Amino acid sequence: MYIPCMSTSERLVEATRELLWDRGYVGTSPKAIQRRAGAGQGSMYHHFSGKPELALAAIGRTAHAMREAAEETFSGGGSAYERISAYLLREREVLRGCPVGRLTMDPDVIADPSLRAPVDATIGWLRARLAEIVEEGVAGGEFAAGLDPAEVAATIVATVQGGYVLARASGSPEAFDAGVRGLSALLGPRTATP
């Protein structure tokens, strides 16, 4: 499961990331973390003061990974539409849900300002970055002049996050795929009407 040379603290963070994604904060017990990481209780508490500190490290790493993956798509070549479409249509583990978005449904994460902060910051970054790209598209004539970049960015994020919910509810990635394809078509280049 983990690289043999990975340190105990790294294994603990990675195990926590996976468990948070699969089970959420409440469902991620210290025992489950230790078992998945192959670490004892003493090792866990040697590196981290407790579950909240370990969860914060894991959430921070997950948020960073999500930003990196999105930025790779956003900074790729192509028009604003092509970059947004590439983001919408990129490969995802749809049935697992979004590892960051899923945390917004966890009452313990949302109730704790320190755990909520990296989640909120990442979603805020994503919306702002998408708004920049939409603004480029409006300025370049790809998108209608009246579009509000912040509102379109919010729609893109809502479609992706809602797509995860629909896919998990139906047990099929098709619901996600249909949502992102539909939004991609709506954002697509304008064609003249005969």
Q: What is the CATH number of the domain that holds 38?
A: 1.10.357.10
Neighbouring residues of 29: CB distance < 8 A, sequence distance ≥ 6: 51
**pLDDT digit string (tens) for 93-144?**
999 999 999 999 999 999 999 999 999 999 999 999 999 999 999 999 999 9
Maximal CA-CA distance, the chain: 73
Examine residue 34 and state whether it is found in any structural domain, yes or no: yes
pLDDT at residue 73 is higher than 90: yes
Q: Which helix (H) or strand (E) holds 6?
A: none
Residue with tokens 């490969």: 91
Question: What pLDDT score was predicted for residue 1?
Answer: 52
> Does residue 2 belong to any structural domain of this protein?
no
| Three-class secondary structure of residue 66 per DSSP | helix
The answer to whether residue 59 is domain-embedded is: yes
Q: State the Cα angle at 92 between 104 and 163, rounded to 5°.
A: 55
Asked whether residue 177 is assigned to any structural domain, the reply reads: yes
Tokens for 33, please give them: 């973390």
Does 193 reside within a domain? no
Region 80-92: mean pLDDT is 94
pLDDT at residue number 3:
52
Domain assignment present for residue 91? The answer is yes
pLDDT at 188: 85
In which domain, by residue range, is 81 found? 8-187
Asked whether the predicted pLDDT for residue 43 surpasses 60, the reply is yes
pLDDT at 4 over 90: no
Alpha carbon distances (Å) from 105 to 45, 52, 61, 98, 177: 27, 17, 19, 11, 22
Looking at the domain assignment, is residue 194 inside a domain? no
**In this predicted structure, what is the pLDDT of residue 2?**
53
Number of domains in the chain: 1
Domain assignment present for 47 = yes
What is the secondary structure of 89-131 as a DSSP string?
A: HS---GGG--TTGGGGG-HHHHH-HHHHHHHHHHHHHHHHHHH
Residue 8 predicted with pLDDT over 80:
yes
For the chain, percent of residues with pLDDT exceeding 70? 94
